Structure formats: structure tokens, C-alpha cells
């Protein structure tokens, strides 16, 4: 498998116009199960996948979303972050970074695999499976409006906001 290739049984990441994969994960805060279709039934959803709580790139990305959440909320958009970390780790990350949105614990990688972002990665010659930083803007009703399958953190939230502005107004 090549670097950043989806796991053998994972689909390719969805693209604009595709039906968004549904799934359920434990959400923090709350430690209850949240189903994505319940969220996008009420309005658009920014679903961003990141590798690990409290690492430099993931912290920068989370803080960028934090700093622009008011703009997204004003547009009726819910923001959810997803990583394989457990709820306890998510709560520490939320508290330390004052994150105003919820984080999903995808410990079994089912949601990451459904979105095609659980991939083979390589660091210092060692290959391992992990989350490829990716974001999906899902329109109300569950259609992918925009997808960023290989996110570079700098400027990413600006691109997401531009895509949110292009959503049809309900």
C-alpha cells in the first residue's frame, strides 16, 4: 500500500455530491453516542478528522476552528472534530484549548474508514495506520458539499468558510 492510501477495506473519501457516510461515535463533552445523520438533519455540518489530540498540527487546526466557530454557528453550521482518541483525552484537549465544539471518539476507526481517511502512513521509514487530516462540509440532509481529503492546516479554515458561504440558504 502506498503512503496515504486508504486501508484495503476502506472506500475512497467522498467528494462533493456524494451521500455522506453515516455513523455513530461517543461525543465529548457528554459521553453519549451521537449519530451524524441526526446532526445534518438540523443543518450543515463541518466534520473534520485529525490524527491526535494535543499534537502541534492538530492543536493549530482545532484552535483555528475554535477561533472561527462563531462565524460557522452564525451560518447555522455545526462543527465536529473526529480522532481515534478516547473521551478522556478529548475532554483534556477541549479544556486546555477552550474548544467550543464537540469531539467524536472514533476508537475503532469505523467512521474514519467509512470516510476513507484511515490510511497507511509512514514516518522515519516506519509504516503504520492512522488518520489522514481531512474535512468534509456536509449539507443539511447528508450530501457532501465540499471535501478536503488532504488538509494543510494553514489557511484551511478560511477555505471551509468560503465553502460555507456558497451553501444554498434555507
Q: What is the pLDDT of residues 10-29, one digit of tens each?
A: 689 999 999 999 999 999 99
Q: Which fold has domain 5-152?
A: Glutaredoxin (3.40.30)
Domain boundaries, the chain: 5-152
Residue 38: HSE in the Cβ half-sphere, 13 Å Cα cutoff: 7
58, 94, 104, 131: the catalytic one is: 58
Asked if residues 39 and 58 have their Cβ atoms less than 8 Å apart, the reply is no
pTM, two decimals, is: 0.93
Say how far apart CA 136 and CA 20 lie, in whole Å: 9
**What was the pLDDT predicted at 62?**
98
Residue 58 appears among annotated catalytic residues: yes
Q: Are 117 and 14 within 8 A, CB to CB? A: no
Amino acid at each position: 500500500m502506498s503512503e496515504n492510501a486508504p486501508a484495503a477495506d476502506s472506500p475512497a473519501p467522498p467528494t462533493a455530491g456524494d451521500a455522506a457516510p453515516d455513523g455513530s461515535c461517543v461525543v465529548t463533552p457528554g459521553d453519549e453516542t451521537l449519530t451524524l445523520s441526526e446532526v445534518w438533519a438540523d443543518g450543515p455540518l463541518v466534520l473534520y478528522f485529525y490524527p491526535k489530540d494535543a499534537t502541534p498540527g492538530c492543536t493549530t487546526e482545532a484552535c483555528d476552528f475554535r477561533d472561527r466557530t462563531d462565524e460557522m454557528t452564525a451560518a447555522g453550521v455545526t462543527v465536529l472534530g473526529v480522532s481515534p482518541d478516547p473521551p478522556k483525552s478529548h475532554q483534556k484537549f477541549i479544556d486546555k484549548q477552550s474548544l467550543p465544539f464537540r469531539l467524536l471518539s472514533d476508537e475503532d476507526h469505523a467512521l474514519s474508514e467509512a470516510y476513507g481517511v484511515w490510511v497507511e502512513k509512514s514516518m522515519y521509514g516506519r509504516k503504520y495506520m492512522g488518520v489522514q487530516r481531512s474535512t468534509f462540509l456536509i449539507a443539511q440532509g447528508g450530501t457532501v458539499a465540499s471535501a478536503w481529503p488532504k488538509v494543510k492546516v494553514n489557511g484551511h479554515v478560511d477555505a471551509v468558510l468560503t465553502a460555507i458561504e456558497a451553501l444554498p440558504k434555507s
